[in-house]
Structure formats: structure tokens, C-alpha cells
Amino acid sequence: MTIRESLPTHGMPIKKNRSNAEHIQALQDFIGRVDRIENYAVPKLVEDGMVSSAVHLAIGESLKVEEVHPSAEEIDAFVNNLRFFMMSSEATSFENIAESIAALSLPRDVQKQFEFVRSELNRWLSFRSPLGIEGKPLTNERILRVFMFGDVTHINNQEKRAEYNKWAANPLFFPLLKTHFIIVMGQFMTFLRLAADTCRSTLQHLGR
């Protein structure tokens, strides 16, 4: 399951038969948005190892949860930018950037650079997390999708919302899931940086 195939669209679909100028603008916008979120709290805290959670339960005592997380506002800010790289209705999605690079009549080795990053991102998203539910492991992608499209974004995805609510109803399990969601977002930044670098190389090749 790839990010292109599994993440929902929202809003107007991307225009077909875009001009070279529009493809180039998409690459520039991709780089600009990556640069914008480079120093957001989520990736910085994840990269510094400052995100964690612990659940304590003892006989005769109430459940105690200790969390070190970015604030809700900081998570919202990152998610609302991250979706521009994930949703096929956005010109800056990985799917549409791949199409833009293919449309610009570049040498095959230049095209392969972005394809490699995208392939590695999809491979990493398919990795099994340390967490599971009902005897089945949860992948990085599934955790990311459920939190993003079932809670944080303003997209009405009833399936993801129902799954999120089911997870949230488990006070032992949910803090660990939320922590993994934040870590996945922070690690996603690594692929965004690599993809932005390939976009820069592409623009340089075009003399931009």
C-alpha cells in the first residue's frame, strides 16, 4: 500500500495537462513548504529525542500517564502542512511532484532521484510499528492516517474517525499510539528534506 494509493483527496482535483511553468511552480512550492516547516516543534523534538510517553497502573491506584509531546497547536501546525505532501488534490503531493518531474523532459537519472525517495518513503510507511491491535501489527502509515484524517485535520473521513475513537477509548494503549504518531511525523521530515533536495537539483538542471 503506497501513500499515493491510500491517502484521501479533498477539495478540487489537480488540473490535468499542466504547463511546464505550473510544474516548475509546484517544485518551487514543495521546496518552500519544506523550508517553512524545517524548524517546527514536531520534527525538532522528535530528532532531539524529546518525545515520549509512559503508562503506570498499580493495584489500588488510578491510571497515571506521563507524556512529553508537542502542544496540540504545534501538532496542528505541522499536520496542516504535512497534508500538502500527501493528498493527491495538492500540486505538492509526492504523487503530483513525481508527475511534474516526469513531464519536464528531464534525463532519466534526474527523474530517478525523486522516484527513489518516494519509493523509500512508501517502504518506510509500510513498516510495522511496535504496536498492534486485535492481534495485528499497525504500520506507520495506518497510525499516521488515522490520527491525521480521523482527528487533526478538518476532513470528514468517517472511517478514520471511527477508528480513532476506538483507539482513544483505550486509556492504556492510546498514549503509546499518539507518541508513535508524533514520532512518525517527525521522521517523515527526513524524506521531505531528501525530496526537496531532488527538487532543487531538478530546478538547477533546468537553469532555475
* Cell digits of residue 150: 480521523
Interatomic CA distance for residues 65 and 208, integer angstroms: 51
- Give me the pLDDT at residue 17, please: 80
81 Rama sector, left if φ>0, alpha if ψ -120 to 50, beta otherwise: alpha
Q: Whose CA is closest to 70, among 54, 53, 83, 84?
A: 53
Between 33 and 59, the more confident residue is 33
* Cell digits of residue 45: 523534538
- Give me the pLDDT at residue 9, please: 43
- Give me the pLDDT at residue 10, please: 47
- Give me the pLDDT at residue 12, please: 55
Interatomic CA distance for residues 156 and 149, integer angstroms: 8
- The backbone torsions φ and ψ at residue 108, rounded to the nearest 5 degrees and listed phi first, read -60, -35
Q: What is the pLDDT of residues 113-135, one digit of tens each?
A: 999 999 999 999 999 999 988 88
Q: Which residues of 140-163 are buried (b: 16+ CB within 10 A; e: fewer)?
A: bbbbbbbbbbbbbbebebeebeeb
- Give me the pLDDT at residue 61, please: 72
- The backbone torsions φ and ψ at residue 130, rounded to the nearest 5 degrees and listed phi first, read -70, -5
